[in-house]
Chains A and B, each alone.
Chain A
Amino acid sequence: MAIIKTDNLVYEFTRRDENNEVVETVRAVDDVSLEIAPGEFIAVLGRNGSGKSTIARQLNALLLPTSGTVWVDGMNTQDGEHLWDIRQTAGMVFQNPDNQIISSVVEEDVGFGPENMGVPTEEIWKRVDRSLEAVGMTAYRRSSPEHLSGGQKQRVAIAGVMAMKPKCIILDEPTAMLDPSGRKEVIQTVRELNQSEGITVILITHYMEETVNADRIYVVDQGVVRMKGTPREVFSQADRLKELKLTVPQVTELACEMKKAGVDLPGGILTVEELAGALCR
């Protein structure tokens, strides 16, 4: 059974004036149907304002559909009684690391979710230990988040979600505010969690390089899913991506240009090694 499934999801923001009359509506998500199996690593790509965050917020009931349905592990998000189960099942990591860390001590922040869920004290500590271990931040457990790098702060935020024992983690541009090394650190952590713990990952990003290892990619634009498929399938259509104002990874772009110039290459090359291999053949 799918861990996350959306059926013809539509979401409209409405702006109202002082008299509560609707001034305008923005259709941020338009007829999106996703189906994500447990353990998958999914990437969602799209330019600014394409509706990625709005989709993400539907997946753990921070926003409710205007029409259509969202199922999280079999629970309908519109079903108020499952609200906290849904948020626990589908944890969420946000873009700005500073604005999602609640406590001034790392381990206390990691325990915040389980505390809210009413987990017994001893169990909270076990979960905190395990989650910090899983993201490799055990050494910093007594530190203040102030003294951590951006990448480390995001790993703490991920640990905070892990401590809630989710089946699925949604990361909304977790690397957008980080430097390249912090970005690598966070993506590496997420991949490890996906592979060793079997957590379903939905990674929202506009950095192509971060998506090459995903199982599947959804490309959204103006709230509509424009492309979907494996990274290879998606990136082999470099022209389509450019139409959607997205840039393909540099190697892929180079391979495409070479192919156009008459070099015999397979489509959708994703890594430098692959290109080198194909050229030396």
Chain B
Amino acid sequence: MLRDVTLGQYYPVESPLHRLDPRMKLSATMLYIVSLFIANNPACYLLATAALLLAIRISRVPVRHFLKGLRPIFMLLLISMLFNLFLTGGEPVLVHWAIFTITWPGVRQAIYMAVRLILLIMGSALMTYTTTPTSLTDGMEKGLRFLKAFHVPVHEIAMMMSIALRFIPILADEADKIQKAQMARGANFEEGSIVQRAKAMVPLLVPLFISAFRRATDLATAMEARCYHGGAGRTKMHPLHYQSGDRIAYLLLFAYLAFVILLRVIL
């Protein structure tokens, strides 16, 4: 179960979306998330969903893959829905039982919250599925270059992010192995109270951390051996230049954003 993390992992197929400039995809993701918070009526959410489905279609990444990526946040989704459902006040009241009150605004809020969260996760996943970590790094580095003026280590942050993405599956795999090894020796991760289960995680996390540190040292040495010495003087395999495809994508993005705002204002 720990092994199949799909969240944040590049999905290697050829598609127009894969070819877009990473800066374009980064800003699109950002603005899409903003649009989800601008949205406040069913029409807006329908539009946002339709836009995302269209983008997914173009990306040629199977929808199945996205759904798998959603699994880890299922609990979070459920909890935030319940909170919204029970804790939003207002009129009219639909159900009233003991201390629980469900109101119509509560139901609406819960549904909006869920849709928002799902679209948000799927939207960001779309970016990572269609952009290699290196390209994401390059995009961030170039797109956020202006922050260097404020002494933000843009290159280093971008490199750290890209390496983190590269090591997610490796560490997940390792966690899985350690868990199985502990289970073979009688550790129980599935039963008991929450406290007991949390305690059972300790023997899993300690070896995982030790191994992560060892890997980090190894990786640093390997990077140094391959002449890595920070961002200065580095050339790129994929220098970033906007193409006509990116211009079209920006146009579509702004049209979409304008529509969402319009729908919010008029409805």
> What residues of chain A have their CB less than 8 Å away from a CB belonging to chain B?
60, 62, 84, 87-88, 91-92, 94, 96, 98-105, 107-108, 111-121, 124-125, 128, 142-144, 146, 160-161, 164
A103 to B222, CA, bound (A): 13
Mark out the residues of chain B between 158 and 187 whose CB falls within 8 Å of any chain A CB in the assembled complex: 162-163, 165-166, 169-170
**Residues A104 and B134 in contact, CB atoms below 8 Å apart:** yes
Mark out the residues of chain B between 117 and 171 whose CB falls within 8 Å of any chain A CB in the assembled complex: 132-134, 162-163, 165-166, 169-170
Shortest Cβ distance from B14 into A: residue: A142
Contact residue among A108, A116, A142 (Cβ-Cβ distance under 8 Å from B226): A116
The 9 closest A-B pairs by CB, nearest first: A100-B222, A99-B218, A113-B226, A116-B227, A111-B237, A92-B225, A108-B134, A118-B233, A116-B228
CB proximity of B136 to chain A, nearest CB, Å: 10
Q: Check B10 for interface membership: any CB of A closer than 8 A.
A: yes
B-chain residues with CB within 8 Å of residue A102 when the two chains form the complex:
163, 166, 219, 222-223, 226
**Residues A117 and B227 in contact, CB atoms below 8 Å apart:** yes
**Residues B235 and A103 in contact, CB atoms below 8 Å apart:** no
Q: Check B247 for interface membership: any CB of A closer than 8 A.
A: no
Q: Which bucket holds chain B's interface residue count? A: 20 to 34
**Residues A103 and B133 in contact, CB atoms below 8 Å apart:** yes
**Residues A120 and B221 in contact, CB atoms below 8 Å apart:** no
B-chain residues with CB within 8 Å of residue A115 when the two chains form the complex:
234-237
A116 to B155, CA, bound (A): 13
**Residues A116 and B134 in contact, CB atoms below 8 Å apart:** no
**Residues A84 and B227 in contact, CB atoms below 8 Å apart:** yes
Q: Pull 15 A–B residue pairs with CB atoms less than 8 Å apart, ordered by A.
A: A87-B227, A92-B222, A94-B222, A96-B218, A98-B215, A99-B215, A100-B218, A100-B222, A101-B166, A103-B132, A104-B134, A115-B236, A116-B228, A120-B235, A144-B10
**Residues A121 and B235 in contact, CB atoms below 8 Å apart:** yes
CB proximity of A156 to chain B, nearest CB, Å: 12
Given A94-B225, A104-B132, A144-B12, 12 more contacts at CB 8 Å? Answer: A62-B225, A87-B225, A92-B225, A102-B222, A103-B166, A104-B133, A104-B166, A105-B134, A108-B132, A115-B236, A115-B237, A116-B226
The verdict on A124 contacting B237 (CB below 8 Å), with A88-B227, A103-B133, A116-B226 known, is: yes
Shortest Cβ distance from B226 into A: residue: A113
A102 to B132, CA, bound (A): 12
**Residues B225 and A60 in contact, CB atoms below 8 Å apart:** yes
Q: Check B239 for interface membership: any CB of A closer than 8 A.
A: yes
**Residues A87 and B224 in contact, CB atoms below 8 Å apart:** yes
A107 to B169, CA, bound (A): 19
A-chain residues with CB within 8 Å of residue B96 when the two chains form the complex:
none
B-chain residues with CB within 8 Å of residue A113 when the two chains form the complex:
226-227
The verdict on A125 contacting B170 (CB below 8 Å), with A94-B222, A100-B222, A103-B133 known, is: no
**Residues B221 and A160 in contact, CB atoms below 8 Å apart:** no
A-chain residues with CB within 8 Å of residue B169 when the two chains form the complex:
146
The verdict on A62 contacting B226 (CB below 8 Å), with A105-B12, A121-B235, A121-B237 known, is: no
A113 to B133, CA, bound (A): 17
CB proximity of A77 to chain B, nearest CB, Å: 13
A-chain residues with CB within 8 Å of residue B222 when the two chains form the complex:
92, 94, 99-100, 102
**Residues A160 and B224 in contact, CB atoms below 8 Å apart:** no
Q: Check B229 for interface membership: any CB of A closer than 8 A.
A: yes
A80 to B212, CA, bound (A): 31
A-chain residues with CB within 8 Å of residue B238 when the two chains form the complex:
121
**Residues B226 and A94 in contact, CB atoms below 8 Å apart:** no
Shortest Cβ distance from A101 into B: residue: B166
CB proximity of B130 to chain A, nearest CB, Å: 13
CB proximity of A56 to chain B, nearest CB, Å: 10
Contact residue among B134, B218, B224, B227 (Cβ-Cβ distance under 8 Å from A103): B134
